[in-house]
Chain A
Amino acid sequence: MRELMRERTIRKALWQERVMLTLLMFCALVSVVTTLAIVVTLTVEAVGFFRVVPIWRFLTEREWTPLFANKKFGILPLICGTMLTAGIAIIISVPLALLIATYLAEYAPPKLRRRLKSVTELLAGIPSVLYGYFALLFVTPLLQKFIPSMSTFNALSPGIVLGFMVLPTIASLSEDIIYAVPQSIREASLALGGTKLQTTFYAVLPAASSGIIAACLLGFARAIGETMLVAIAAGMMPNLTLNPLEPVETMTAYIVQVALGDVPHGTLEYRTIFTVGLTLFVLTLILNLTGIFLRERFLRVLRRM
């Protein structure tokens, strides 16, 4: 009798084990399915779009006017707007982020390091609509005092604010990397008579370079994908220009513009947002995978030391 009950308990536990393992595996599968679903939904609609508009026209035409009577489908103005705002953001954020990261990892005492790091990360917690509000209603009027020719919607002020928005990403990731550079490298440089500054710039930073580049690429991907900030402050006018004082439209802002209106399912306009989304996804995928690859390489080299 007792033997039987014990066997039953064990069988129940083993059965539970098998059920739970299956359930847990399904949970892990959700993330893989998400990626597949992203690729499938974007591609299906994009293929429908390319049946009507040939891909070479999409890639080479210089105007983007799918919402007007005279429809033109050239993605270049949207890519240009995206690269302009994200480019300004990177120019602003990379030097600042690297200065902060190097200082925090190499010079700051541990307590100050922790505290300043969490202050920097506060910037990442501010919602992007608030950044947009700030760019449109504070930074743009301020800049217009110095540059009167600047229009209300422009690439410069959201670009600058975007720079501060991605700064914590770049600073935090590269600080982790610099901090992880093994002590033996610093000791070797110091033993050869290098000063602390020389050690930092000629030994530590070169050793961390692939990881730092990875951090910058991930920050750039963030900047390209940011939506509300540029939708609010950069405007919604596709514009093939490199002049940061003019209104532009980014890929993300175009998707918002269409989603705000009432575009019926199955129309060509509806398909354009998925096609633009696919372009955006491919761009960020390349940046992200390169970043992940570079960081893994850094960590592999690190482990060998």
Chain B
Amino acid sequence: MKVTTSEMVATRAVATRRRFEKLLETLFLAGAWLALTLVIALLVVILSDILADGWVRLNWKFLTSFPSRHPEEAGIFSAWVGTVYVMALTALIALPIGVGAAIYLEEFASRNWFARLVELNINNLAGVPAIIYGLLGLQVFVRWCRMGESVLAGACTLALMSLPVIIVASREALRAVPNSIREAALALGATKWQTVRDHVLPLALPGILTGTILALSRAIGEAAPLITIGALTFVAFLPKSPLDPFTVLPIQAYNWVSRPQPEFHQNAAAALIVLLALLSLMNGIATYLRNRYQQRWQI
């Protein structure tokens, strides 16, 4: 068999080309792995930095003392109580409204202009910066509704902020319930609402709760809207009613970070560790709920 020169040149060109392609692919994969390593390294560095700075300040006294001018006596009692208080109230307000809106959109609304408008609106609201919700809360809840700079005003503000996320998550959970369940209930003469209340909602509840907890953990880590409505940065008492002034962990931490003394920075780091622990706990609960109650439908 005779091989002409032009064929040999062609094969060689293909081989070179192939080697070049291989090199490019290796480069691309190396770049991707480098990017992933950077992300993981940053996570590790942030966490170890905060632990190294704040670990020494973490003790029982820090959790049960009020803020003070003396860094070694200052604690986060009012801050973590405020955080838990605001979070509970936010959940109480946002969960029913969010689930109601999701049920309406998923189970009742026909595909008309109103449903489309609400949908576009929710997508857009999810992208509105947190601080804009703070301005809204300042004007509507603090001024017009005369709630003052209270726990209630803060909870209403955070509830509006987390609604879009809760609605989207609840709709997904409702959509995951197979249609045969609805058809079975309707065929037995149940009304649409009875079907939803007795059959669809219980099945979708774990998914809804998972989404809600994640939305709340996002909201509770955010300080900007609460600073904007006028939450205090120095609170030496516990809020007794929803109409009392309050502070929360991220605001307390921000207050300490923005002081020049390094001792206060340690306090900020310790407060942030407590906040992180709270957020991880919530994420843990959400993950547990999802894994424990996740249904695999076999239709």
Binding site for B on A (CB under 8 A): 13-14, 16-17, 20-21, 23-32, 34-35, 37-38, 41-42, 45, 95-97, 99-100, 102-103, 107, 116, 119-120, 122-123, 125-134, 136-138, 164, 167, 195-198, 218, 221-222, 224-228, 231-232, 252, 255-256, 259-260, 265, 273-274, 277, 280-281, 284-285, 287-289, 291-292
Contacts of A259 in B (CB 8 A): 134, 138, 227-230
Contacts of A227 in B (CB 8 A): 129-131, 223-224
Report how many residues on chain B are interfacial, defined by Cβ distance under 8 Å: 87
Contacts of A289 in B (CB 8 A): 124
Binding site for A on B (CB under 8 A): 18, 21, 24-25, 28-29, 31-36, 38-40, 42-43, 45-46, 49-50, 53, 96-101, 103-105, 108-109, 117-118, 120-125, 127-136, 138-140, 143, 160, 163-164, 167, 191-194, 217-218, 221-224, 227-230, 233, 250, 253-254, 257-258, 265, 268-269, 272, 275-276, 279, 283
CB closest residue in chain B, given A131: B46
Contacts of A95 in B (CB 8 A): 35
User: Are B35 and A127 in touch, CB under 8 angstroms?
Assistant: no
CB closest residue in chain B, given A30: B97
Known contacts: A13-B194, A99-B32, A125-B217. The answer to whether A28 contacts B118 by CB under 8 A is: yes
User: Are B222 and A133 in touch, CB under 8 angstroms?
Assistant: no
User: Are B193 and A16 in touch, CB under 8 angstroms?
Assistant: yes
Tell me, in angstroms, the Cα distance from A265 to B148 when the chains sit together. 12
User: Are B32 and A125 in touch, CB under 8 angstroms?
Assistant: no
Contacts of A167 in B (CB 8 A): 39
Number of A-B contacts (CB under 8 A): 251
User: Are A134 and B46 in touch, CB under 8 angstroms?
Assistant: yes
User: Are B218 and A125 in touch, CB under 8 angstroms?
Assistant: yes
Whole-angstrom distance between the Cβ of A242 and the nearest chain B Cβ: 23
Contacts of A97 in B (CB 8 A): 35
Q: Which of A20, A129, A252 has the most CB of B within 10 A?
A: A129
CB closest residue in chain B, given A226: B129
